[in-house]
Chains A and B, each alone.
Chain A
Amino acid sequence: MRLRERLSKLGGMKLLRGAKLSGELGRLQDQLDRLRSEPSAEDIWQSVELARHQDRPYTLDYVERILDDFFELHGDRGRADDLALVTGLGRLAGRTVVLIGHQKGRDLKERTKRNFGMAYPEGYRKAMRAMALADRHGFPVVTLVDTPGAYPGVAAEQHGQGGAIARSQAAMARLSVPTIACIIGEGGSGGAVAVAVADRVLMQEHAIYSVISPEGCAAILWRDAAEARKAAAAFKPDAAHCLELGVIDAIVAEPEGGAHTDPDAAAKLLEHGILGALEEVESLDPGERRRQRRAKYRVMGILTSA
C-alpha cells in the first residue's frame, strides 16, 4: 500500500524547507495500523451511498452538537447570501473558531433553499470573507465539506464560479491561523476543495472525496451514467484510498452502520478528531504552519520520469 511506502520514505527524508516530521510519522503509523485491508468495490459503493444518505448529519447538525454559542454570519458583502454554504462564529472547547460548511437541505423545501448544498460564487465569496475575519482575529478555521459540487448554472458562470473556487483556495493557502477541514459527506470536486485547503484534512469513514461524481465519470468514460458503480470502483473516492494516496491526514471513525445511525456519537467522534488535529497545529509558529501547509500540497501527486 502506498501509505506504507510513504511512511518508509518519510523516515529517512528531510521535509521541504526543514519542516519537522516527527509528528507526521506518528500520525501516519496510527492511521496505518487501523487500515486492515484495501476497500473492495462493494465497500466503496457502500460509502458512496452512506455519504449521500438522506439522514446523514449535515453541517448544522454537527454545529449544534460541537459548537457553543454559534452565531451565523450571512452574506458575501457584495450581492447575496448563499445558503448552500454556512459561515459563522462559535466556541469549540473554549476557543472561538470560524466555521465554514456546506449545508444540504433535509426536506424538499429546504433543499431548494439550500440548492442541495451546491454553492454559487457568492457562497465562496462569503467563505473568503469569513476566512479574512478569522485571520484578522486569530481564530482557527474549521470547514465541514459536504457538496455534490459547485453549482453548474448560467448565473453561477456569469458570476465567476471558476475564479471564485480558485481564489478561495488561494485564500486558504494564505491564512496564518490554524485550519482544519473535514469531509463529512460528499467531497464533490472543485466545489469541495475550494474550502478544503487546510493544515489538516480529515475525512469521515464513509465520506467520499472525488474529482467527479461517479455518475459524471460513468457518463463520460462509459457513456452511460448507470455505470456509476464501476466508475466509483475505478477512481476510488473512499476515505481509505484518500489516506493511502496522501490526500487526507486522518480518518474520523463513524458509529457502526454510518453517521446517521447515531448523530450524537458521530458528532463526538468528529469533535475529538477536529480537536486532536487542531492541537497538533496550534502550537506551530504561524509562518511555519503556513509553510508546512503549502509544502504538503506541493508534493501531492504521483508521477515518474521517462
Chain B
Amino acid sequence: MSSGQGRVDVEIESKRADEPTQGKVHPNTCPGCGSHYRDEELVKSLRVCPQCGHHFPVRARERIAQLADPGSFIEEDADLRSADPLGFFDVRPYTERLAEAEVATGLGDAIVCGAATIEDEECRLAVMDFAFMGGSMGSVVGEKFARACESAVAASTPLVSVSASGGARMQEGILALMQLPKTVCAIEELHEAGGALLSVLTHPTTGGVLASYASLGDVVLAEPGALMSFAGPRVVAQTTREKLPDDFGLAESNFRFGHLDAIVTRPELRPTLARLLRLFGKP
C-alpha cells in the first residue's frame, strides 16, 4: 500500500516539475542552466547568470544604471507619448495596450533617452525597453531617437544606442515603417555633423530596428546570445521550410558573417563603451 502510494506521489511530482519548463519559466530562472536567483542577486550580477553566463534581459532604467556614472543621467523628452493615428483596434484598442504598458513598465514608451557620462566621458544614451510592447518602434521611439541624435550633435558628444526590439509597431501601420527612414536620416545628419553612433544590440533586436538605426553604428556591438535577425526564426522556418542552424540569427553567427565589430559580455560593456568614447572623443 505505502509503496504504491509513494509511486503515485513521485508521478505527480514529476508532472509538476515538468510544467514550468514547458509553459512559463520564472523570469529569474536561468533558461541556460536552470539556476534560480533572487532579484537582488541578479541586479548585483548585472543580470548575468553566475553559473553559466546567460544574459538575462535588462530593463531600460536598470541598463542606464549599469552603464552611466551614478547620478549622471539626465533624461530628455520623457513627456512624449504615442498617439493613435489609425484608431487601431485588433482584439483590443491600441490606446488600451498603451495605457497598460505604461502602467506595467512605468515608461512613456519603449525608449529612454538622455545625457550621461560613462567613466567621465560625456555621451547621449538611447536605451530601448523590451517590456514596453515588445520594444516595438512607433512614432515616439523614432522621434526620441531622432532627437537623441540632434541632442548629441548640439552637445558634440557621441550617441550610445542600446536596442532591444521586436520590430516596427504594427498598431501605427505605415507610420511605424516610416520611423526606419526617419531614424536613418537622423543618423545621416549626425554623421555629417561629425558625430558618432555606438550601437549595442541586445536580445532581441529584430525587424525594423535592426533594419534601421541599430545596424548603422560607427561601431556595432552585441551581447552574447542576442538574437539579431531581420525576420524572426519562426517566420523563416514557416516561410522557407528550411532547417535553421542552431545559432540562427544569434550574435555569434552574425559576428562570424561579419555583421558585428565585437561581442561584448555585460560586465565588459561599460569599460568597452568608455574606451570607444575616448577613441571617438575630441583630443
Interface on A for B, CB 8 Å cutoff?
A: 2, 150, 152-154, 156-163, 165-167, 169-170, 172-174, 189-190, 193-194, 197, 209-212, 216-217, 220-222, 230-231, 234-237, 241-242, 245, 247, 293-294, 297-298, 300-306
Give A160 to B231 CA distance when docked, in angstroms.
Answer: 11
Give A212 to B174 CA distance when docked, in angstroms.
Answer: 9
A235 touches B184 (CB 8 A): no
Residues of B within 8 A of A230 (CB): 90
Give A297 to B207 CA distance when docked, in angstroms.
Answer: 19
Task: Give chain B's interface residue range (CB within 8 Å of chain A).
Answer: 35 or more
A297 touches B182 (CB 8 A): yes
Residues of A within 8 A of B249 (CB): 157
A297 with B178, Cβ < 8 A, contacts A162-B210, A197-B184 known: yes
Give A46 to B58 CA distance when docked, in angstroms.
Answer: 44
B184 touches A166 (CB 8 A): yes
Residues of A within 8 A of B216 (CB): 166-167, 170
Contact of A303 among B80, B174, B210, B239 (CB under 8 A): B80
B230 touches A297 (CB 8 A): no
Residue of A nearest to B177 (CB): A211
Residues of A within 8 A of B200 (CB): none
B248 touches A157 (CB 8 A): yes
Q: Taking the complex as formed, is B33 at the interface, i.e. its CB lies under 8 A from any CB of chain A?
A: no
Residues of B within 8 A of A305 (CB): 79-81
Tell me which of B21-29, B46-54, B140-148, B270-278 binds A.
B140-148
A245 with B175, Cβ < 8 A, contacts A159-B257, A163-B259, A306-B81 known: yes
Contact of A210 among B177, B187, B239 (CB under 8 A): B177
A173 touches B239 (CB 8 A): no
Give the 7 A-B residue pairs with the shortest CB-CB distance, closest first. A301-B139, A152-B231, A162-B210, A235-B173, A221-B90, A162-B230, A165-B211
Give A242 to B231 CA distance when docked, in angstroms.
Answer: 24
Between A222, A242, A300, the greatest number of chain B beta carbons within 10 A of the residue's beta carbon is seen for: A300
A298 touches B210 (CB 8 A): no
Residues of A within 8 A of B240 (CB): 152-154
B180 touches A150 (CB 8 A): no
Give A154 to B88 CA distance when docked, in angstroms.
Answer: 33
Residues of B within 8 A of A157 (CB): 229-231, 236, 248-249
Give A157 to B232 CA distance when docked, in angstroms.
Answer: 10
Give A86 to B176 CA distance when docked, in angstroms.
Answer: 27
Interface on B for A, CB 8 Å cutoff?
A: 79-83, 85-86, 88-91, 108, 138-140, 142-143, 146, 168-182, 184-189, 206-208, 210-216, 228-231, 235-236, 239-240, 242, 244-245, 248-249, 253-254, 257-259
B82 touches A303 (CB 8 A): yes
B181 touches A193 (CB 8 A): yes
B181 touches A303 (CB 8 A): no
Residue of A nearest to B169 (CB): A211
B231 touches A169 (CB 8 A): no
A298 touches B185 (CB 8 A): yes
Contact of A173 among B172, B174, B188, B210 (CB under 8 A): B188
Residues of A within 8 A of B210 (CB): 162-163, 166
7 contacts between A and B (CB under 8 A): A163-B215, A170-B184, A173-B184, A241-B174, A297-B182, A301-B172, A302-B175
A209 touches B80 (CB 8 A): no
Give A46 to B170 CA distance when docked, in angstroms.
Answer: 21
Please give the distance in Å from A165's CB to the nearest CB on chain B.
4
Residue of B nearest to A189 (CB): B177
B185 touches A294 (CB 8 A): yes
Contact of B230 among A152, A293, A300 (CB under 8 A): A152
Residues of A within 8 A of B173 (CB): 210-211, 234-237, 241, 245
A222 touches B90 (CB 8 A): yes
Please give the distance in Å from A189's CB to the nearest CB on chain B.
6
Please give the distance in Å from B203's CB to the nearest CB on chain A.
15
Residues of B within 8 A of A211 (CB): 168-170, 172-174, 176-177, 208
Give A173 to B81 CA distance when docked, in angstroms.
Answer: 27
Residues of A within 8 A of B228 (CB): 162
Residue of B nearest to A154 (CB): B242
Residue of B nearest to A208 (CB): B174
Contact of A169 among B79, B83, B212, B248 (CB under 8 A): B212
Give A158 to B247 CA distance when docked, in angstroms.
Answer: 11
A298 touches B186 (CB 8 A): yes
Please give the distance in Å from A39's CB to the nearest CB on chain B.
13
Contact of A234 among B86, B139, B211 (CB under 8 A): B86
Give A165 to B208 CA distance when docked, in angstroms.
Answer: 9
Give A271 to B171 CA distance when docked, in angstroms.
Answer: 34
B139 touches A302 (CB 8 A): yes
B239 touches A154 (CB 8 A): no
Give A165 to B244 CA distance when docked, in angstroms.
Answer: 22
A245 touches B174 (CB 8 A): yes
A235 with B181, Cβ < 8 A, contacts A303-B143, A305-B81 known: no
